[in-house]
Structure 1
């Protein structure tokens, strides 16, 4: 192709002035790095332009695949081709080298894996001269060669106005929102020079077109859009930066570069900043959505810090956002964990939230040695928190402290807590970013000073003599945990009709010996079908929790299932009283009545895994294993029930990792679970998580099978079958 090209090229007319040619009307900048497979098609399409008075600036960053040699062959045949060697592998740096070398009145850009229509630059240049435009842009094709050469038109400017000169900053800002596609335009060099527009010189090709696009749209006074498709943008180059999901902060780097530009040009910032923040969110959201799961939290946290600052400074204009997007931005700025939970690809890729968001001790209780610490995690319960606190502060037992953790409430809850803390010295007040009930309870445990601790939800209450009754009994018997009962109150008759389970859910009407081991009480409650998982039904010796390093599993719901199991089983001295100490409120919007979603399934799955790990670490106890397997069975039934109530099950399932999905399928569908691709299945089954998951589905099946075998055939037959299976398993 290169050999015959010189015969086809038309020479550019020149006038000699002191030995130099006159400046061309347009300079085409073509940055390259290892695009040997595409470079000839690209350069030839530029050399064939019907606008001949151009210079072609090929800026190569040290290609090693033959790219440079192919460009050199073009330069030997066509004097318009100039080669510039870049000592840095940076798209922005290469483009700036081209800008510095360019002599044309206008600047065009061609990516060296693309190609262009023969009349692209002539059409755009003529339009620029006719309308005295400083920017001219057109539409383009999506080009691929994977299944034969295909060019599909993409109308990037569909929502803009064609053929009319306008100022993007003041007349119509739609063009800001289009894909940058800077190679689908030409730009007056004087405008770029006078306004100080340069490319951001970050390493590699990392979306540097974004800040350039924004700067050009900001300063342009006369922009013109053509309703033509003149550029062929290659979509199937695997090396293109748009496909790199590992470049986490490249887009934010460009936003920061543009923000520095606005700081240097305050006349533009005043006009456009509120609009820009809405645009910035859309760019950030796009980048966040393309990232790998393991990188999403890191970028989301940057999004949060920047939009939280804008939120607090009053810079966000609600009129610049749709109602849906404003809700998203509000959540991002004020409750980032909730935003991440709603939008992430795989939730288990999250970090430990408490390591990122530190709690703040606002008020410390003045009671030095409280007998009981009542822990109250609080989120948006302004209508109930006063009644809850009154039920604790008015206890007949005065040596009680209340540890309140405001979990990022957005209503008037914090004002109420502050007022209570000012008038009662027994209140410790802690504030944290919204992270969920588990993290709030753990924060309270770190600050609690009581000999014993109780947990109380911020819409529930305690019987006024509860702390006194429980403390004296626990002290008398030297208990690790003392369990008690509760009663439910319904806000409406409809709730009572729809949730009858809660009427008696917190009652255990049974005679319990004065002191048992936790294991024995667990077995007793399981046998009576009255094992309860709520931590709000126990008084816990704080030293006991610390000795066993018991905390709540953070980042999940249904964490009570795990907490209750790991607190009751190791305990050596526990008991139960029938007193109905807890007054549980059943209301709309509480954790008991809320619409089921991904978090419910995920929380159960995590509890299954963690309980299994915990039980595996205990000495073998057949009776206990049987009871625990029954409890695991019960959790799996709850999972199936919740799954049936989830509105969008497909969106829910996507948030699980591949290993988690395999376990989930096994629980939800059993033998009818969807089949995995052989390779994926092999990798999953080899993982530790899968082997642990297999354990908690194995135990219930095998134990139930053994029990049935014993009931139907007797002990001798059951033992013989067991030995046969062992021999078959191990080949002897």
Structure 2
């Protein structure tokens, strides 16, 4: 049995796939299994997967009709055999040759951790990179998922990506954690459930993941009506998850997290048609109570603005902020 399984969904990333795979092949730790899930690629990515699998028995390929990222990850996870699991997107890469060694040493040193997070770099080019927030400053010791969420909320940002965590596979199986098919932003409900189940976790200071930016066709480049409605679904799903939690502290932390997602929705009401907006406004008014759940500094500011300007005034302020951030 390999020590670690690495699940890599692949869809039309032939330009970047080999760099991704080379970042795995150059690791100084070698007891790994890679599961490449070719999700119906049409650009030759599937052929690249087969070529690498033919030269290294540690690499296996699953070809499937296009089903989306969630299904690809779930199907890859079903084939994982390692003690630990990592997810790696096929247009991204690991920054360091000792990525696996660093992560496995950390898991061995902290046997009570169900997962350990690490940091990432936004990669624009060899000349331009930007480090994201060091979440090791907020969760530097082993804490419960509830304590971790409260600390992360105080940071003002949430490291939701599945790709910046190493997870015990038996924990994933016991917790029945999987990705919801058919939605964008699938990492949000997955990470919230991960925190709800985790009895122990921490975040390392190490920057190990290269998150490629400005990729043609990336779903993160523009906000769309689909992303808007998917986020409505995610918030409704999250409120049901909140109601099911036995801990009052976790319920309050989850509400504060979903308040941040509510603010994102409000800031993108302009992507809706006039008719869609009219149908969504009652839902937005019904859930504006979330703005009172302000463990996050961003929501705290939004709450103050809401009290001064009302919901429409807050919408305009949040939209203006979006415009300034893009500049």
TM-score (norm 1): 0.38
Counterpart of 2:290 in structure 1 is 700
Does residue 480 (structure 1) correspond to residue 114 (structure 2)? The answer is yes
In structure 1, stretches of 5+ residues that fail to align are: 1-368, 497-501, 655-660, 671-693, 709-732
Counterpart of 2:227 in structure 1 is 600
Distance in 1 of aligned mates of 2:254 and 2:172: 21
Distance in 1 of aligned mates of 2:140 and 2:133: 19
Does residue 469 (structure 1) correspond to residue 102 (structure 2)? The answer is yes
Distance in 1 of aligned mates of 2:136 and 2:107: 20
Q: Deviations over 1:622-660 (max 9, x none)?
A: x4333322211211222233443x3xx339949xxxxxx
Tell me how far 1:618 sits from its aligned partner.
0.7
Pairs aligned (count): 293
The answer to whether the 8 Å contact 1:403/1:429 transfers is yes
In structure 2, stretches of 5+ residues that fail to align are: 295-299, 301-327
* Residue among 2, 12, 15 paired with 1:383: 15
Indicate the structure (1 or 2) with the bigger Cα radius of gyration: 1
Counterpart of 2:281 in structure 1 is 665
Change (3 A) 1:395 1:492: closer
Counterpart of 1:569 in structure 2 is 196
Does residue 440 (structure 1) correspond to residue 72 (structure 2)? The answer is yes
The answer to whether the 8 Å contact 1:515/1:573 transfers is yes
Q: Deviations over 1:188-216 (max 9, x none)?
A: xxxxxxxxxxxxxxxxxxxxxxxxxxxxx
* Residue among 64, 76, 89 paired with 1:457: 89
Counterpart of 2:318 in structure 1 is none
Counterpart of 2:259 in structure 1 is 633
Does residue 554 (structure 1) correspond to residue 174 (structure 2)? The answer is no
Distance in 2 of aligned mates of 1:699 and 1:628: 14
Does residue 650 (structure 1) correspond to residue 277 (structure 2)? The answer is no
Tell me how far 1:666 sits from its aligned partner.
3.6
The answer to whether the 8 Å contact 1:487/1:506 transfers is no
Change (3 A) 1:554 1:475: same
Tell me how far 1:472 sits from its aligned partner.
1.8
Distance in 2 of aligned mates of 1:473 and 1:589: 35
Tell me how far 1:603 sits from its aligned partner.
1.9
Does residue 611 (structure 1) correspond to residue 238 (structure 2)? The answer is yes
Counterpart of 1:356 in structure 2 is none
Change (3 A) 1:425 1:466: same
* Partner-residue secondary structure (3-state), 1:569: helix
Distance in 1 of aligned mates of 2:131 and 2:203: 16
Distance in 2 of aligned mates of 1:437 and 1:525: 25
1:685-724 alignment to 2 at 5 Å?
697=287, 700-701=290-291, 703=293
Counterpart of 2:165 in structure 1 is 538
* Partner-residue secondary structure (3-state), 1:396: coil
Tell me how far 1:443 sits from its aligned partner.
0.5
* Residue among 133, 142, 146 paired with 1:515: 142
Q: Deviations over 1:230-278 (max 9, x none)?
A: xxxxxxxxxxxxxxxxxxxxxxxxxxxxxxxxxxxxxxxxxxxxxxxxx
Tell me how far 1:475 sits from its aligned partner.
2.1
Counterpart of 2:322 in structure 1 is none
* Partner-residue secondary structure (3-state), 1:540: strand
Distance in 2 of aligned mates of 1:505 and 1:419: 34
Distance in 2 of aligned mates of 1:541 and 1:409: 30
* Residue among 49, 54, 69 paired with 1:422: 54
Change (3 A) 1:589 1:667: farther
* Partner-residue secondary structure (3-state), 1:449: coil
1:210-221 alignment to 2 at 5 Å?
none
* RCO comparison, higher one (Cα < 8 Å, 6+): 2
* Partner-residue secondary structure (3-state), 1:464: coil
Tell me how far 1:392 sits from its aligned partner.
1.0
The answer to whether the 8 Å contact 1:371/1:399 transfers is yes
The answer to whether the 8 Å contact 2:140/2:204 transfers is no
Change (3 A) 1:642 1:436: farther
1:148-297 alignment to 2 at 5 Å?
none
* Partner-residue secondary structure (3-state), 1:405: strand
Distance in 1 of aligned mates of 2:75 and 2:268: 29
Distance in 2 of aligned mates of 1:535 and 1:667: 29
Tell me how far 1:595 sits from its aligned partner.
3.0
Backbone CA RMSD of aligned residues = 2.5
Does residue 398 (structure 1) correspond to residue 41 (structure 2)? The answer is no
The answer to whether the 8 Å contact 2:118/2:136 transfers is no
Distance in 2 of aligned mates of 1:538 and 1:440: 18
Counterpart of 1:489 in structure 2 is 123
Counterpart of 1:411 in structure 2 is 43
Change (3 A) 1:651 1:459: farther
Distance in 2 of aligned mates of 1:506 and 1:449: 32
Tell me how far 1:508 sits from its aligned partner.
2.1
Distance in 2 of aligned mates of 1:465 and 1:535: 20
The answer to whether the 8 Å contact 2:177/2:190 transfers is yes
Distance in 1 of aligned mates of 2:216 and 2:266: 22
* Partner-residue secondary structure (3-state), 1:473: helix
Change (3 A) 1:424 1:703: closer
1:8-19 alignment to 2 at 5 Å?
none
Change (3 A) 1:610 1:489: same
Q: Deviations over 1:150-200 (max 9, x none)?
A: xxxxxxxxxxxxxxxxxxxxxxxxxxxxxxxxxxxxxxxxxxxxxxxxxxx
Distance in 1 of aligned mates of 2:138 and 2:107: 17
